[in-house]
Amino acid sequence: MRKIILDTDIGVDDAFALAYAAKTQNILGITTVFGNVPVAQAVKNAKLFCREIGLDVPILRGCSRPLALPLHANATDVHGSDGLGDVLDNPFDDRAGNAVDFIIETVRAQPGEITLVAIGPLTNLACAMNQAPDIIPLVKEVIIMGGAFGTHGHAGNVTPHSEFNIWKDPHAADQLLSSALPVVILPLDVTHEVQISGEDIRELNQPVLTAISQGYLRYSLEKEGFEGMALHDTLTISWLNHPQWFTTVQSPVRVVTEGITLGQTLRKLTPLASRYDPFAHCRAQTLCLAVQATQVKQAFLHSLRLVN
Ligand code: BDR
Ligand code: CA
């Protein structure tokens, strides 16, 4: 069990990841960020979902916009206008302490022990790193859901070349991925390969998960042409629990920050020397490019199933 801070723009698959993390990891705090929903809504969602699953941890409020770009539209088409499928009454307010300060202080207090798990845009992590570069060598590891490298045609989901979390704040992603922080990347190449059906979700016997996932399931069927829900964010927790089920490569990774491929993640493919090398001085990151989907799915379902 790792000590984790979960950084999230909490929508439906984030909620599944949070439920899985609550069962299998030691969550020290939840830091929220804009992304699927505005950050104020993310704070409210985190409070509501934690109540639903009986999790009592600090919830913090992070960045409300990207580092450099204007704020793009939210992902209400996938996650509903409230981010959790528009099925729950939310009585909570959006007040919360400062997420970036929480990350910095927690890492400083427990050097070498904190795993940062980021399942939304990477703005909070980039801000923490910029505000307090001394924490960079103190972070144990960073695990992110984001990016796409083209395996099995998984090249993008928000544009043909970009994945949502990276596209929302490509500058933050590029800073983080080209820093000295050790990052494990769970891109669409693996997260889109692990899908659960409506029936799988019902069998978990957790009415709140069934309720919030109905709109997401409809979106997958109508817009993406498959029956089920890609587990996306949950794969960060699967990696922590079962890294042996993933195939990885080591490579420096950069992000395109302008032009028609805005938000595209690139890894270094050529072994040849280049006159200008944008990967020079970037450390190799761990990239997951294949997954044993059945094992990952079964372990997730087994862990979340509530037996009466
Ligand atoms: C990512 O985009 C968001 O909508 C999901 O929550 C996930 O983090 C998948 O591209
Ligand atoms: Ca997310």
216 alpha carbon – ligand 2 mean position (Å): 13
154 Cβ inside 6 Å of ligand 1: no
Q: Which two tokens stand for residue 137?
A: 């060598």
Nearest ligand 1 atom, CA 119: 8
Alpha-carbon radius of gyration of the chain? 18
The residue-averaged pLDDT of 145-158 equals: 94
User: Minimum-distance ligand to the CA of 163?
Assistant: 1
Handedness of CA 183, 68, 79, 164 (dihedral sign): negative
The residue-averaged pLDDT of 150-172 equals: 95
165 Cβ inside 6 Å of ligand 1: yes
232 is catalytic: yes
pLDDT in tens, 90-101: 999 999 999 999
DSSP string, 71-100: PPP--HHHH-TTSSTT-S--------EEHH
Name the average pLDDT for the chain: 95
pLDDT value of position 5: 98
Q: How far apart are CA 244 and CA 154, in angstroms?
A: 22
Q: Residue 301: pLDDT above 60?
A: yes
Which residue out of 79, 161, 192, 232 is catalytically annotated? 232
189 Cβ inside 6 Å of ligand 1: no
175 Cβ inside 6 Å of ligand 1: no
236 Cβ inside 6 Å of ligand 1: no
The residue-averaged pLDDT of 105-111 equals: 98
pLDDT value of position 77: 80
pLDDT in tens, 192-248: 999 999 999 999 999 999 999 999 999 888 888 888 999 999 999 999 999 999 999
220 alpha carbon – ligand 2 mean position (Å): 16
User: Minimum-distance ligand to the CA of 79?
Assistant: 1
Q: Which two tokens stand for residue 268?
A: 């270094």
The residue-averaged pLDDT of 4-31 equals: 97
pLDDT value of position 308: 53
Residues present in the chain in total: 308
Write the secondary structure of 200-258 as one string of H (helix), E (strand) and C (coil).
HHHCCCCHHHHHHHHHHHHHHHHHHCCCCEECCCHHHHHHHHCHHHEEEEEECEEECCC
The residue-averaged pLDDT of 23-45 equals: 97
Helices 12-24, 293-304: inter-axial angle, 10-degree rounding: 70
The sheet with strand 141-145 has its strands ordered as: 97-98, 59-61, 26-32, 3-8, 114-118, 141-145, 183-186, 285-291, 246-251
Nearest ligand 1 atom, CA 145: 8
pLDDT in tens, 118-139: 999 999 999 999 999 999 999 9
pLDDT in tens, 47-80: 999 999 999 999 999 999 999 998 877 778 888 8
7 Cβ inside 6 Å of ligand 1: no
DSSP string, 104-169: HHHHHHSTTTEEEEE-S-SHHHHHHHHH-GGGGGG--EEEEE-----GGG---SSBTTB-HHHHH-
119 Cβ inside 6 Å of ligand 1: yes
146 alpha carbon – ligand 1 mean position (Å): 8
pLDDT in tens, 243-282: 999 999 999 999 999 999 999 999 998 777 788 899 999 9
User: Minimum-distance ligand to the CA of 73?
Assistant: 1
Q: How far apart are CA 99 and CA 127, in angstroms?
A: 10
Q: How far apart are CA 23 and CA 270, in angstroms?
A: 41
Q: Residue 306: pLDDT above 80?
A: no
Percent of the chain with pLDDT over 90: 87
The residue-averaged pLDDT of 1-30 equals: 97
Nearest ligand 1 atom, CA 36: 4
Residues having C-beta closer than 5 Å to ion ligand 2? 14, 119-120, 233
Domain boundary assignment for the chain: 3-304
pLDDT value of position 175: 98
Topology adopted by domain 3-304:
Inosine-uridine Nucleoside N-ribohydrolase; Chain A (3.90.245)
